[in-house]
Amino acid sequence: MFFLPSAQAIDLTKLHFVKLSPESNISALDCTEDNGADPLGLQEFILKEALTYQAERIGVTYLVLHEKTIVVFLTVSMNCLSLEELQQQEMIPEIKVRHPALLLGRLVVDKRFRNLGIGTYLCQWVIGLARYLSELVGSRYVALHTLPDRSGFYKGELLNFTESSQPRPDKKKLLYRKITSDS
Amino acid sequence: MLPEAIEPLKGKAATEFIEYDRRQLTEAEKDSLKKADAVYARHKVAP
C-alpha cells in the first residue's frame, strides 16, 4: 500500500475520481471551516456554481471518493502566467509570450478528512494531470491562488510551488510550479 | 517525439533551450515529478 508520511487512516491509492455531473450526490460534502464558516465560498461553489462552470467550460470539477464517500472536490481549467508573474530565472531565452498553465482553481478536502495527506496527494495528481495534458496541449506550469497563510503548504518540499512576487488586486497569492522535465 | 511536420530546433537555439531547462530542475523537483506521474497514472480520468 502507498501512504504519504502524514496519512494515517486512508489508503490513498484506493481513492476514486469521478467528474461532477447533475446526478452527483454532493449533499453530504462539507467544505466549511471547523467553525462552520465558508469564508472563501467553497461550499457555495460546489453546491450552486460548479455545474454551471463545467457546462460553460470555465472549470471542470472532479469528485474524489473514498469508498462511497466524497472526500474532496477539485476544479481545474486552462490558464496562463504573464512574464511579470514569473521569477527571472523562469525566463526562456527568445520566448517572450505568456506561459501556459493548468489552473488548480479549487481543491477542497471535506472537513472530516483533513490532515490525512489527501491534499498533498491530490496536488501531485493535478501536477501529473498537467504533465499528461501538456503532451497534447502546450502547458508549462500548474498555477493556483491561495490565501497567504496557506501558501506554505504548497511551497513545501513535497509540492515545490513558488510564490509570485507580482502584487494581486485581492488578498491571495499566486503560486506556480513548473511541470517540465528534461528526461 | 515531434510530429514530422514540425521542424525541431537545431544548432545553438536547441542547445540553449535544453541547457536552460536542465538547469532549472533540482533533484527534488525531478523526484516530485516522478511521483506526480505515478499518482496520475494510478487515477487516470477520461472525459
How confident is the model over B13-41, as pLDDT tens digits?
555 555 554 456 778 788 899 999 999 99
pLDDT, tens only, A152-177:
999 998 899 999 999 899 989 999 99
Strand order in the sheet with A141-146: A16-19, A60-66, A69-81, A99-109, A141-146, A173-178, A162-163
Confidence label for B9 from pLDDT (cuts 50, 70 and 90): low
Q: CB–CB of A93 and B20 under 8 A?
A: yes
- Look at the block and give the residue holding cell 496520475: B40
Structural domain boundaries enclosing A17: 12-178
Chain-centroid distance of CA A95 in Å reads 27
In-domain check, residue A7? no
Q: CB–CB of A182 and B18 under 8 A?
A: yes
In-domain check, residue A133? yes
ipTM of the complex: 0.89
pLDDT at B6 over 90: no
Name which of A127, A142, A159 to mutate to probe chain B: the one with the most chain B Cβ atoms within 10 A of its Cβ: A127
pLDDT, tens only, A20-55:
999 999 999 999 998 999 988 999 999 999 999 999
In-domain check, residue A2? no
pTM of the model: 0.85
Q: CB–CB of B28 and A160 under 8 A?
A: yes
Domains in chain A: how many in total? 1
- Beta bridge partner(s), residue A76: A60, A104
Read off φ and ψ for residue B37, nearest 5 degrees. Answer: -60, -40
Which pLDDT value is given to residue A90? Answer: 85
Residues of A in contact with B37 (CB under 8 A): 128, 131
pLDDT, tens only, A97-132:
999 999 999 999 999 999 999 999 999 999 999 999
b/e burial code for range B14-36 (CB count within 10 A of at least 16 → b): eeeeeebeeeebeeebeebbebb
A155 interfacial to chain B (CB closer than 8 Å): no
In-domain check, residue A147? yes
In-domain check, residue A6? no
**Strand ranges, E, within chain A:** 16-19, 60-66, 69-81, 99-109, 141-146, 162-163, 173-178
Which pLDDT value is given to residue A111? Answer: 94
Residues of A in contact with B24 (CB under 8 A): 89-90, 178
Cβ contact A108:A46 at 8 Å: yes
Alpha-carbon gap, residue A171 to A157, rounded angstroms? 24
C-alpha dihedral (A123, A129, A134, A135), degrees to nearest 10: 140
In-domain check, residue A41? yes
